[in-house]
Amino acid sequence: MTDTTRDNVPLETITIVGGGTAGWMTAALLSHVFRGYRIRLVESDEIGIIGVGEATIPAIRDYMAMAGIDQVEMIRASQATFKLGIDFVNWRDGNDRYFHGFGRIGQDFMWLHPHQLWLRLKRLGVPIRHLDDYALNCRAGMANKFCFPDPRNPGSPISGIDYAYHFDASLLARYLRVRAEAKGVERIEGRIVDTKLDGESGHVAHVVLADGRTVDGDLFVDCSGMRGLLIGQALGVGYEDWNQWLLNDRALAVPCESVSPLTPYTRVTARDHGWQWRIPLQHRIGNGHVFASAQISDDAAAATLLANLDGKPLADPRAVAFRPGKRHKAWEKNVVAIGLSSGFLEPLESTSIHLIQTGITKLIGLFPHRGFAAPDIAEYNRQHDFEFTDVRDFIVAHYKVTEREDTEYWRYLKHMPIPDSLAERLDLFASSGRFFRRAAAELFREESWVQVLMGQGLPVAYDPMVEMIPDETVAAFLHDTEEVIADVARAMPDHADFIARYCKAPLSP
């Protein structure tokens, strides 16, 4: 843990505006890592939080480690379940399924990745199983199994498992609030009606609440959600729209009763004008329909959503509008935008909470302990651009490689022009099954791209180097890999049993 003191520095007060997932994640981490700053958080009970955002990716465990959060305590507090990956239904041709698992796919054969061997056997017409069966996360996920990886045994298949969580967003915000307040964060309830700028520097000087109180700060973290109260409304930083690649701009969310089995994965099912999510928690299932409002009405979208729930709905569907894209700059003057105020990418790969996390860790890494420096701000904004563009390309790839053309929505997506950065990667993969990370900061590993692109049937040729290996050796290697993975998955505990045994939530949290 970093213990950063602030001797002889001008910055004293950090004011966080907004108390959703972004605001409380920021407050919980900054108050854990820093000493000597006054940290305040302003939120409005009247406005409330967006209240969706319940699926994560494995990097969330790094946030928890940095914030000193015990995972079992967090799981109990937020009715969380484990997530091994995402079950994609009907994304290829409307009658298909594949799994994007977080862990490894089998074992490499020297430097060759297993999907290359798999493609060779498929070309030869050798009977082989679905690619998912060679990855432990997929195999265990689809069998509703879960256990922690074994860090004492790094070479074993079980060490290749990787996991994240599904949690109740409101309960998580409450849990983080308790932790942050215990570390001295001061919560101020009230609706901000105005923002005053310092005439000379143009920095935000203070915000004005509806009852006339003012809250000042040296550094403001704008976690006010899509409104972007400070970064957009007060400082006028613009927004880059990405709706030429991402048609969806609206969602309807509805919880429903739990059903058995308790699945350790998110399910995303492609629909005619969007897609539907299913996120299992301990006490309920979160569901939603993300869609393009230009193509389908709220009523029709709600009918599709409600007709495809596994349990009885627990509320009426709630609509959320959004704008795919990102702020031109996430840090401007003395305001850093984190969360929805900094941009939004649809939750297909559960990346928004991760982008909150990287927003906070970037801020810690470039923290203006001794005042605001232009190079720090420029570097923050450069990294912000990279992260959003990187995730955007991965999400756009899901739509571009579809074979679906059954509605105007899917026809457009299949044939749309895509960013050059993505087109080059897809061309390389199509020609040789090769995929390379270009920068250490890229979020998704090769395994993720491979599972999605092959899951959707990108017609790939394999790396010719596979032909240097005798076909019998390739077949035997994949056969052994599959057997080991099947054995390990079989031996793993049931997901619901695992939670009941190690992290059951109390009945009244």
Catalytic residues: 83
Contact segment (CB under 6 A) with ligand FAD among 41-49, 91-99, 127-135, 415-423 equals: 41-49
- Residue 15 contacts residue 196 (beta carbons within 8 Å): no
The answer to whether 19 is a known ligand-binding residue is yes
The answer to whether 349 is a known ligand-binding residue is yes
The secondary element (H helix, E strand) that includes residue 114 is helix 114-124
The answer to whether 21 is a known ligand-binding residue is yes
Q: Give exposure, 149-174, as e/b (b: 16+ Cβ within 10 Å).
A: beeeeeeebbbbbbbbbbbbbbbbbe
Task: Please say which residue, 116 or 276, places its beta carbon nearer to ligand FAD.
Answer: 276
Task: Please say which residue, 113 or 166, places its beta carbon nearer to ligand FAD.
Answer: 166
> Is there binding between residue 47 and ligand FAD (CB under 6 A)?
yes
Which residue stretches of 255-407 are H helix? Answer: 298-307, 352-365, 374-400
> Is there binding between residue 353 and ligand FAD (CB under 6 A)?
yes
Task: Please say which residue, 78 or 352, places its beta carbon nearer to ligand FAD.
Answer: 352
The secondary element (H helix, E strand) that includes residue 87 is strand 85-89
The C-alpha torsion from 115 through 399 and 272 to 341, rounded to 10°, is: 120
> Is there binding between residue 292 and ligand FAD (CB under 6 A)?
no
CA distances from 469 to 130, 219, 348, 464 (A): 22, 59, 38, 10
Which residue stretches of 333-470 are H helix? Answer: 352-365, 374-400, 408-415, 420-432, 446-455
Among 14, 19, 396, 453, binds ligand FAD (CB under 6 A): 19
Task: Please say which residue, 61 or 479, places its beta carbon nearer to ligand FAD.
Answer: 61
> Is there binding between residue 350 and ligand FAD (CB under 6 A)?
yes
The answer to whether 23 is a known ligand-binding residue is no
> Is there binding between residue 174 and ligand FAD (CB under 6 A)?
no
> Is there binding between residue 442 and ligand FAD (CB under 6 A)?
no
CA distances from 25 to 67, 143, 297 (A): 9, 33, 34
> Is there binding between residue 23 and ligand FAD (CB under 6 A)?
yes
> Is there binding between residue 401 and ligand FAD (CB under 6 A)?
no
> Is there binding between residue 304 and ligand FAD (CB under 6 A)?
no
Collapsing DSSP to helix, strand or coil, 1 comes out as coil
Task: Please say which residue, 192 or 452, places its beta carbon nearer to ligand FAD.
Answer: 192
Phi, psi of 119 (to 5 degrees): -65, -35
> Is there binding between residue 191 and ligand FAD (CB under 6 A)?
yes
Task: Please say which residue, 157 or 324, places its beta carbon nearer to ligand FAD.
Answer: 324
Among 54, 132, 332, 463, binds ligand FAD (CB under 6 A): 54
The answer to whether 348 is a known ligand-binding residue is no
Q: Give exposure, 80-115, as e/b (b: 16+ Cβ within 10 Å).
A: bbbbbbbbbbbbbebebbbbbbbbbbbbebeebbbb
Least Cβ distance, residue 269 to ligand FAD (angstroms): 14
Strands 266-271, 85-89: pairing kind: parallel
> DSSP label at 506?
P
Residues 6+ apart with CB under 8 A from 62: 357
Dig out the tokens for 364 from the structure: 């810690």
> Is there binding between residue 55 and ligand FAD (CB under 6 A)?
yes
Binding mask 212-231 for ligand FAD (x = CB under 6 A): -----------xxx-x-x--
Query: Rule CB under 6 A: which residues touch ligand FAD?
Result: 18-23, 42-44, 47-50, 52-56, 169, 191-192, 223-225, 227, 229, 251, 253, 288, 320, 322, 339-340, 347, 350, 352-353, 356
